[in-house]
A and B are shown apart, each in its own frame.
Chain A
Amino acid sequence: MNNLLRQGQRLACWLPAAAQQQIHTTAVQRTFWEREKKSGYKTKLPEPSKKQLIMDGLKDLKEEIKLWRKEVKEQFESDPILVFRPGETDVVFDFKAPNVLDNWTVTTDADHGEGKSTASLELSSAGAGLFHGEVNSDHTKDGIIKRTGYANIRTKRVRKSFKRESTYDWTQYNMLIMKVRGDGRSYLINLHTEGYFDLMWNDIYHYVLYTRGGPHWQIAKIPFSKFFMSSKGRVQDRQSAIPLNRVTHFGFSVAAKKGMDGPFGLEIDYVGLQYDPSHREEFAYEMYQTPKYIVAT
């Protein structure tokens, strides 16, 4: 609905004042089809010149071929990991690795002029990634935005060579392991499983990361079975266990809900995966038979 209103507003900006009085400027949307993945929040950046594009493309080509060679080599070697030893953590996102911050995107509600939160991701003095900033639930009272105050980090889309999109395959694991040092706030862990159709573009699996706070590091071990699905911030009625072979992004969110406006800081050493044979649960939430025409309405 917000999307509709935003589009309407934009249209209204283009029209002259006289026309605005006569023409109803709200965009008519007859279907739920979405034009692009950002649902109206796509920032139009100025396109570089054609010459620049060619130069950048050639530069990228070099890297992409390197990546492709690696992929082909892996294919020929055909030496995949088949045995996942219990209790061993395989690190996926390591903040000690070089250029690690390039892989992450930081977003806040201020990006689209809807709020006043600030956030950044940098390396802390301990050598870990520090997601910090200030969340603020104040916003311009434009009558459309009701609640704001969030900050978010997300990895870039996992891809193969030549910018082909791919997904993580974590089916062999059943635990998410994180070494973090928080500030007592609870953070939201987001596992995006972006699908092919527009209906599945916003599928995100969530769980809460409670941080102890204090100077000690904390290792959080969260089973994947606990993650529940939501879309555009709404928990969905039709739930299912997370498809671990279709994870596209990973991220953390923090919100200024319930008067928690103020600074936050989450230090992340690594995010890893583990296989724990003693954990047999597939999905933590019971699946009731619901009456017809009630679910997902």
Chain B
Amino acid sequence: MLRRAQCLLRLHSHGRQSVATLTRHRSYSTDEATPKQNPSANPNQRAQKPARNLPAVRNPFAAAQDRTKDTYLTMVEIFQERDVHRRNHVEFIYAALKNMADFGVERDLEVYKALINVMPKGKFIPTNLFQAEFMHYPKQQQCIIDLLEQMEDFGVMPDYEMEAMLLNVFGRQGHPLRKYWRMMYWMPKFKNLSPWPLPDPVPDDTLEIAKLAVERMCTVDLRSKVTVFQTSDLKDAIDDTWIVSGMSAEQEKLLREHSRQKALYIEGPFHIWLRNRRINYFTLRADPDTQFLAQLDERQLDDDDVSNIEVPFLGRAPPRRHNQLGKLRSVHQQDDGTILAICATGTSTKDSLLSWIRLLEANGNSSIGEVPVLFRFTSTVPAKAEEIEGPASVPATSNARSSKDESPSSRRE
């Protein structure tokens, strides 16, 4: 009760019309409110002045000032305690559902339960076969079905208390119960299905999301290490930002063995989604080692080829090349390039990427200093790539900063 009073005060704290709004909000619909405010008014008088008619149902949620869960629950409480009949409770629940996101309670099971609690208990339970068959109180049932659907959309899983509440309102034959049982069958099955689980909710901090994203991309190689660099560690970096870099021991080895004559490319920005968050990332890529990949293909024997069957009685055939020990193909050696490292930076600028290369060089990859590194801001769509390649659409290559960026790479050459 005390909380209610406090919240009411907070709700209508703006001075001069506080009392007026209080009465208006507490009386949920004007059809009821008008007789209360001026009991002498008869229907004829009201009909004469249609312009002053207020909407039939006022939405108290839209008028609330303090948008917190407490206020929300208090408003539900106020509605419940207003009178015994709880008129317009279906409209109230729909209005409440619509405004959940504004109050930040759309993922809160407690709030959904409070809304179901608005429904009267026992009144909607069918008492005979015909009522059960023909959806007793259809508006009310549909309202709760919509509520459950909203829960489903936001991924809120109901609990057994909700089942008890629904049973009390609609009985075993109620359609909301069917919906509830379906949800309780399927939702736990799908909830933890993802092989790359994410915290719920996903953190708001960009650095945290970037760390999650790079970690996720690095799951391809278990030996990957994710490091967070600060560009402020470097002497003459323009941007002061963070760089989340992911690289494995195998990638370091590939980088060490990379020919000094062949260029490396920094490509991007590509994006990765973590639930509803999107993060841009860049890759350090080398052209595919075609010679090595072709050699691998040579090693593969055609099992269906019957023209040259080994007969063990006729002496052993001289060892073929595929029997010799050779280098194994790394997971990073893809058909369309060798991925050497992945990063996400706080600013996604050319300068931060240059800092990334310098930081990699300082942290145990000294060979990167001897290899030319080229920037290639591309897209996977060929048409789009051409568009970016064009001089007009890439401001980075035409301004003064880019020439500054290119100088270190030319130095390396």
Q: What is the interface of chain A, defined by CB distance below 8 A to chain B?
A: 122-127, 130, 132, 147, 183-186, 208, 210, 212-218, 235, 237, 257-260, 262-265, 267, 285, 288, 293-294, 297
Contacts and interface: CB of A to CB of B under 8 A. Distances in A.
Interface in B170-191: 175, 178, 181-182, 185-186, 189-190
A130 B133 CA distance: 50
B283 A215 contact: yes
A185 B382 CA distance: 22
Nearest to B336: A126
A258 B155 contact: yes
Given A126-B335, A130-B380, A212 B220 contact: yes
B334 A260 contact: no
Classify the secondary structure of B's interface with A. Answer: mixed
Contacts of B274: 184
Nearest to B378: A125
B196 A212 contact: yes
A189 to B, nearest CB: 13
A265 B380 contact: yes
A262 B273 CA distance: 10
9 contacts: A127-B336, A130-B381, A183-B270, A208-B190, A214-B342, A258-B276, A260-B275, A263-B271, A293-B133
Contacts of A263: 271
Given A126-B336, A258-B155, A215 B219 contact: no
Classify the secondary structure of A's interface with B. Answer: loop
A268 B362 CA distance: 38
B290 to A, nearest CB: 14
Contacts of A218: 220
B276 A260 contact: yes
Nearest to B186: A235
Contact of B381 (A124, A183, A210, A212): A124
Interface in B261-288: 270-276, 278, 281, 283, 285
Contacts of A288: 185
B196 A210 contact: yes
A124 B273 contact: no
Nearest to A264: B273
A231 to B, nearest CB: 14
A116 to B, nearest CB: 18
A217 B334 contact: yes
B265 to A, nearest CB: 11
A216 B334 contact: yes
Contacts of B133: 293
B272 A257 contact: no
Given A214-B342, A215-B283, A258-B276, A125 B380 contact: yes
**B: interface residue count bin:** 35 or more
A215 B272 contact: no
Given A210-B195, A237-B182, A258 B219 contact: no
B217 interface: yes
Contacts of B22: none
Given A186-B194, A294-B181, 13 more contacts: A184-B274, A185-B273, A208-B193, A210-B195, A212-B219, A212-B220, A213-B213, A213-B216, A215-B270, A216-B334, A218-B220, A235-B182, A264-B273
A212 B219 CA distance: 8
B332 interface: yes
A215 B155 contact: no
Contacts of B281: 214
* Residue picked from B153, B275, B332, most chain A C-beta under 10 Å: B275
Contact of A258 (B272, B275, B337): B275
B189 A285 contact: yes
B272 A213 contact: yes
A127 B185 CA distance: 42
Contact of B217 (A123, A126, A214): A214
A112 to B, nearest CB: 22
Nearest to B382: A125
A216 B153 contact: no
Nearest to A263: B271
A184 B216 contact: yes
A150 to B, nearest CB: 14
Interface in B373-409: 380-382, 385
A132 B381 contact: yes
Contacts of A126: 335-336, 380
Nearest to A132: B381
A183 B219 CA distance: 14
B139 to A, nearest CB: 15
Interface in B194-235: 194-196, 213, 216-220
A122 B342 CA distance: 26
A184 B196 CA distance: 9
A30 to B, nearest CB: 17
B331 interface: yes
A259 B273 contact: no
B154 interface: yes
Given A210-B195, A285-B189, A294-B178, A216 B213 contact: no
